[in-house]
């Protein structure tokens, strides 16, 4: 089996993802639509939270992908720093807006879900607050990419920012927990596995998580292709201008 580093070659990446993309996209649609329909129509209400428990099928997968997208960007940034594969840097750039949208979905659904319980449209619950900070990190990362013209410089600077940002995001998580530990004890929004999520909720949730994950992969494939092509176009135009 060939090494995964072969896909660092931009052309090979595009060829391979061209073949994979239709399948991943189709699977994503099936899982997402199937999971959401299952959860929305075919699950009961929670005795405490009523029908709002149905928001879980959006909120939890989105929140998970918000974190996973950043982790993927971190890995891709490290690969760029160490091995200087352009595809890696471009993949990180491609993933960021997807992660940012996932974060917004997590925030909006989290806030809406919290409203009936806390009576306000926004609550400085530690988890929601951490996601708000994560959103700011995403914005900064995306903004830095856009602000720099030279592709290699942009890749270098944004990869370091991603690294430093990751450390501070973790620090912020602990700081925010410390900051709001006294309030809303036990009223956190997520239903962890340990909290006995009944099977009837858990299975459609897993399908939705798979759907969001596959959606992320499909979008990153597509968007990285775009970045590769855009970069090549810029390079060709620059060469044209010089000759």
Evaluate whether 215 touches 32 at the Cβ level (below 8 Å): yes
Q: What are phi and psi of 46, to 5 degrees?
A: -90, 140
Q: Which of 8, 74, 75, 101 binds other proteins (CB under 8 A)?
A: 101
Q: How far is CA 41 from the centre of its chain?
A: 26
Q: How far apart are CA 85 and CA 8, in angstroms?
A: 6
- The half-sphere exposure of 99 on its side-chain side, counting CA atoms within 13 A, is 26
- Closest approach of Cβ 75 to other proteins, in Å? 18
Helix (H, G, I), strand (E, B) or coil at 46: strand
Residue 241: both structure tokens together? 């201008």
Among 168, 183, 198, 200, binds other proteins (CB under 8 A): 168
Residue window 175-214: x/- pattern of binding to other proteins, with contact defined by CB under 8 A: xx-xx-----------------------------------
Q: Which residues bind other proteins (CB under 8 A)?
A: 36, 40-41, 45, 50-52, 54-55, 58-59, 62, 97-98, 101, 104-105, 108-109, 112-113, 115-116, 133, 136-137, 139-140, 143-144, 147-148, 153, 156-157, 160-161, 163-165, 168, 171-172, 174-176, 178-179, 215, 219, 222-223, 225-226, 229-230, 232-233, 236-237, 240
């Amino acid at each position: 089996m060939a090494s995964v580093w072969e896909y660092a070659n931009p052309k090979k990446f595009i060829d391979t993802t061209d073949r994979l993309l239709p399948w991943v996209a189709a699977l994503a649609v099936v899982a997402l639509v199937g999971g959401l329909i299952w959860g929305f129509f075919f699950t009961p209400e929670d005795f405490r939270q009523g029908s709002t428990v149905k928001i879980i099928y959006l909120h939890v997968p989105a929140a998970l992908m918000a974190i996973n997208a950043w982790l993927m960007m971190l890995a891709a940034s490290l690969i760029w720093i160490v091995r200087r594969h352009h595809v890696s840097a471009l993949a990180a750039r491609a993933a960021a807006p997807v992660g940012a949208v996932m974060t917004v979905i997590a925030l909006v659904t989290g806030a809406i879900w919290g409203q009936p319980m806390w009576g306000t449209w926004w609550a400085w619950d530690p988890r929601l607050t951490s996601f708000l900070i994560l959103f700011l990190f995403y914005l900064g990362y995306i903004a830095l990419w856009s602000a720099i013209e030279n592709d290699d410089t942009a890749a270098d600077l944004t990869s370091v920012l991603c690294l430093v940002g990751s450390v501070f995001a973790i620090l912020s998580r602990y700081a925010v927990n410390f900051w709001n530990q006294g309030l809303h004890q036990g009223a956190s929004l997520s239903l962890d596995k340990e909290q006995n999520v009944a099977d009837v909720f858990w299975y459609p949730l897993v399908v939705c998580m798979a759907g969001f994950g596959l959606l992320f992969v499909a979008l990153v494939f597509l968007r990285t292709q775009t970045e590769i092509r855009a970069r090549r176009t810029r390079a060709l135009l620059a060469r044209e201008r010089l000759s």
